[in-house]
Amino acid sequence: MTKLALWLALVPWAIAQTTPNFTGVWELNPAKSHPTRPDANMRIKIDQQGPDFGVTFRNVERGETQEESLKFAAGQESKNQMHGAPMTSHTEWDGATLVVRSVAVFSGKELRLNNRWSLSPDGNTLTFVERHQFGDSPEEEDTHVLDRRPGNSWEPSAPPKLAEEVYKNIQIMKGVPAPRLRLVMTNLTTWLGVRCDHCHVVNEFEKDDKPAKETARKMFKMVRTINQDNFPGTGPVTCWTCHRGQAKPQSLPPQQL
Ligand code: HEC
Ligand code: HEC
């Protein structure tokens, strides 16, 4: 073989080598991370198959385990929910570093994330540098250094807590998983074109002081009944069907109002 042919034969190997496999169970090393958070308890489980990444975060805060699973695909756009907010991500390899750029929208404000994942040469340390910028706040950077843990150290997921176990004043959403309640709340703002404070005393979400909250409860029951009585099994009617981004839906076409 000529030198050139040898080179060419090695090229595919060299390219394959530049995209490492992050599959495994990883635990935050708070001492090596920046900013250091000695009390932080975060683990990440990654399943990587070809371009597809399944990433599950588990955080323990004040004795409560919070879990969130995201899916990404290298070279593609992916849609996920982050803390109940819709998030769009673009994922690509930059050499041996996986770059995930995401925008999540929390009540109209954008959280922009630029995350870079890389593996140490021995494969036992995963570094995840997160640049985040929310609304008009200045950009910040966190470095999370994670150590590899045995694959069997990841316990199966506990079923999510129900809304009534987490929140204080649940009347109509009993039996709904708590993360789902947050998602519904975020959707309500879009469907009705309002903010949280239309229905809530902010930061005292359990209070029933605003009439719109009680109206919303009645509307949920109404929508349930409409669907059960007319569209069994499919449930196509939602708040959006009538509201279309307005607090008060139109009853007649505009020229007849
Ligand atoms: C259109 C009215 C409406 C809007 C807008 C709305 N909510 Fe709610 N929210 C409700 C209703 C109704 C309940 C009670 C559900 C029940 O009784 O099961 C509730 C319950 C909650 C609870 C549970 C409180 C507790 O402890 O019982 C939280 C938290 C919450 N909402 C957060 C939000 C957030 C955050 C937003 C904005 C992103 C929001 N909500 C927007 C109507 C609304
Ligand atoms: C069948 C049509 C229809 C559907 C579906 C519907 N609504 Fe309504 N909603 C109305 C109408 C009509 C009004 C306005 C009544 C008025 O003019 O006083 C209204 C009013 C409201 C109001 C009071 C608005 C204000 O000024 O504060 C809230 C809150 C509300 N709806 C929440 C919801 C929620 C939440 C859902 C989904 C669970 C929903 N609605 C689904 C027809 C609908």
| pLDDT class of 16 with cuts at 50, 70, 90 | low
Which atom of ligand 1 is closest in space to residue 195's alpha carbon? 5
Q: Please report, for the domain that includes residue 173, its CATH number.
A: 1.10.468.10
One-letter amino acid for residue 58 of the chain: R
Whether 129 and 195 map to the same domain: the answer is no
- The predicted structure's pLDDT at residue 3: 61
What's the average model confidence in pLDDT over 91-108? 92
- Of residues 9 and 100, the one with the higher pLDDT is 100
Domain count, the chain: 2
Which atom of ligand 2 is closest in space to residue 212's alpha carbon? 29
- The predicted structure's pLDDT at residue 234: 86
The rounded Å distance from CA 219 to ligand 2 centre is 6
Domain boundary among 150, 180, 214: 150
201 phi, psi to nearest 5 deg: -80, 110
The rounded Å distance from CA 159 to ligand 1 centre is 22
Ligand 2 site, residue 250, Cβ cutoff 6 A: no
Question: Is 118 a domain residue?
Answer: yes
The rounded Å distance from CA 209 to ligand 1 centre is 12
Whether 125 and 28 map to the same domain: the answer is yes
Whether 36 and 142 map to the same domain: the answer is yes
Q: Please report, for the domain that includes residue 49, its CATH number.
A: 2.40.128.20
pLDDT tens per residue, range 127-161: 999 999 999 999 999 999 999 999 999 998 878 88
3-state DSSP of the chain: CCHHHHHHHHHHHHHHHHCCCCCEEEEECCCCCECCCCCCCEEEEEEEECCEEEEEEEEEECCEEEEEEEEEECCCEEEEEECCEEEEEEEEEECCEEEEEEEEEECCEEEEEEEEEEECCCCCEEEEEEEEEECCCCCEEEEEEEEEECHHHCCCCCCCCEHHHHCCCCCCCCCCEHHHHHHHHHHHHHHHCCCHHHCCECCECCCCCCHHHHHHHHHHHHHHHHHHHHCCCCCCCCHHHHHCCCCCCCCCCHHHC
One-letter amino acid for residue 117 of the chain: W
What's the average model confidence in pLDDT over 232-256? 92
pLDDT tens per residue, range 34-79: 987 777 889 999 999 999 999 999 998 877 788 899 999 999 999 9
Whether 185 and 120 map to the same domain: the answer is no
Whether 187 and 131 map to the same domain: the answer is no
One-letter amino acid for residue 138 of the chain: P
- The predicted structure's pLDDT at residue 158: 79
Range of the domain at 40: 20-150
Whether 145 and 168 map to the same domain: the answer is no
pTM of the complete model: 0.65
Whether 61 and 144 map to the same domain: the answer is yes
- The predicted structure's pLDDT at residue 6: 57
Whether 34 and 113 map to the same domain: the answer is yes
The rounded Å distance from CA 212 to ligand 2 centre is 9
Whether 24 and 123 map to the same domain: the answer is yes
Ligand 2 site, residue 172, Cβ cutoff 6 A: no
Average pLDDT, the chain: 90
- The predicted structure's pLDDT at residue 7: 58
The rounded Å distance from CA 172 to ligand 2 centre is 16
Nearest CA to ligand 2 atom 35: 216
